[in-house]
Amino acid sequence: MFRKYIALLSILMVITGCSSEDDVINLRIGHALDEQHSVHQAMVYMGERLSYYSDNQMQISLYPNAQLGSEREMLELLQIGSLAMTKVSAAAIEGFVPEMKIYGVPYLFRDNKHRWAVLQSDIGKTILGATDKAHLTGMGYYDAGSRSFYTSKQRVETPSDLSGQKIRVMQSPSAVNMVNTMGGSATPISFGELYTALQQGVVDGAENNPPSFFLSRHYEISNYYVLDEHTSVPDVIVASKHIFENLTPQQQEWLQLAVDDSIELQKRLWSELEERSLNEVKAAGVEVIYPDKQPFVDSVQSLYKSHEGTIIGEFIKQIKAMEQEVPNE
């Protein structure tokens, strides 16, 4: 751990969140995913669009593969202005922005169409704007699909099958409560350590979306993937408030336009990668299970009751009410 922080400090001695040479502003962006991921590809495109909008007055330098630390560590770098932007799961930002807990509520969205209608509505914008009090600037959402369980030894077709199984979750109270409520034993472990944890039997399984399951190669160890699709936690694009507010209004507009363009590309790339990922893990011998979701829905109703009378409970009401306004897929 000490060596890790020394290495990170060495990088930050030469990398600040934003630099300016010959009137060209260079924004440093870090994320924890590899270059194959739709997030990285979308951020490459973001840089291209930013150069276009600014007539090469602004550019982006990308640092993938958690080179600058975990999602939480990069958020902390944003808060002190040592990094310009990052992409984090909404679950990872719960500790900084409590409103983000809404996205950890299981079976919150009817389908993808409903989910994107919410994210692009005043509700989604309000939650994104809540990042301000954490010295962050919410820029938009990326698609992260739906999360489902995968296990190494025991098939999961109903919540009762999770009993006695140690399931890796993100460092998120919402994720811990959900898995424990379903009957599993939630075990927070960093994503970078999960392959080894599965291999050594430290955990019996985990939960994630198809591209993460595939690109992490966790399918090499996990024999079963049950598409219960319990949560649809979006990724959040956030900037350092300090760095963003030091840009001119014109520069802020250029950056937001570039982010918006990258969102549209990422959504298309995500859909393609999701389909490919499921085909690849099936070809590798993983049994993909399509369960009856109702028992899973029934098993988490107590979580809904626990939010009554809170801001999360109010968001739930508003989001569920929007189902009537959004046509089915």
Whether the Cβ atoms of residue 83 and residue 70 lie closer than 8 Å to each other = no
Dump the DSSP string for 296-310: HHHHTHHHHHHTTTS
Structure tokens at 279: 């085909």
Note the pLDDT tens digit of each residue in 271-303.
999 999 999 999 999 999 999 999 999 999 999
Burial code (b: 16+ CB inside 10 Å, e: under 16) for 228-252 equals: bbbbbbbbbbbbbbbbbeebeeebe
pLDDT-based confidence at 70, cuts 50/70/90?
confident
Q: Amino acid letter at 40?
A: H
Q: In the chain, what's the furthest Cα-to-Cα distance? A: 62
pLDDT-based confidence at 329, cuts 50/70/90?
confident
Helix (H, G, I), strand (E, B) or coil at 153: coil
Q: Amino acid letter at 55?
A: D
Structure tokens at 33: 């995913």
Burial code (b: 16+ CB inside 10 Å, e: under 16) for 172-201 equals: bbbbbbbbebbbbebbebebeebeebbeee
Whether the Cβ atoms of residue 62 and residue 34 lie closer than 8 Å to each other = no
Dump the DSSP string for 53-69: HTTTSEEEEEE-TTTT-
Would you say residue 62 has pLDDT above 60?
A: yes
Note the pLDDT tens digit of each residue in 22-43.
689 999 999 988 898 999 999 9
Radius of gyration of the chain (CA): 20
Note the pLDDT tens digit of each residue in 147-186.
999 999 999 999 999 999 999 998 889 999 999 999 999 9
State how far the Cα of 309 lies from the Cα of 249, in Å rounded to an integer: 39
Would you say residue 4 has pLDDT above 50?
A: no
In this prediction, residue 21 carries a pLDDT of: 59
pLDDT-based confidence at 3, cuts 50/70/90?
very low
In this prediction, residue 6 carries a pLDDT of: 44
Note the pLDDT tens digit of each residue in 186-203.
999 988 899 999 999 999
Would you say residue 269 has pLDDT above 70?
A: yes
State how far the Cα of 277 lies from the Cα of 55, in Å rounded to an integer: 37
Q: How many Å separate Cα 286 from the centre of its chain?
A: 24
Whether the Cβ atoms of residue 239 and residue 46 lie closer than 8 Å to each other = no
Note the pLDDT tens digit of each residue in 120-132.
999 999 999 999 9
Q: Determine if the pTM surpasses 0.95.
A: no
Burial code (b: 16+ CB inside 10 Å, e: under 16) for 68-98 equals: bbbbebbbebbbebbbbbbbbbbbbbbebbb
Average pLDDT over the chain, rounded to whole? 93
Please provide the distance, in angstroms rounded to a whole number, between the alpha carbons at the two ends of the chain: 47
Query: What average pLDDT score do residues 195-220 get?
Result: 96
Note the pLDDT tens digit of each residue in 243-266.
999 999 999 999 999 999 999 999
Query: What average pLDDT score do residues 133-137 get?
Result: 97
In this prediction, residue 16 carries a pLDDT of: 61
Whole-angstrom CA distances from 295 to 159, 212, 230, 233 are 7, 25, 11, 21
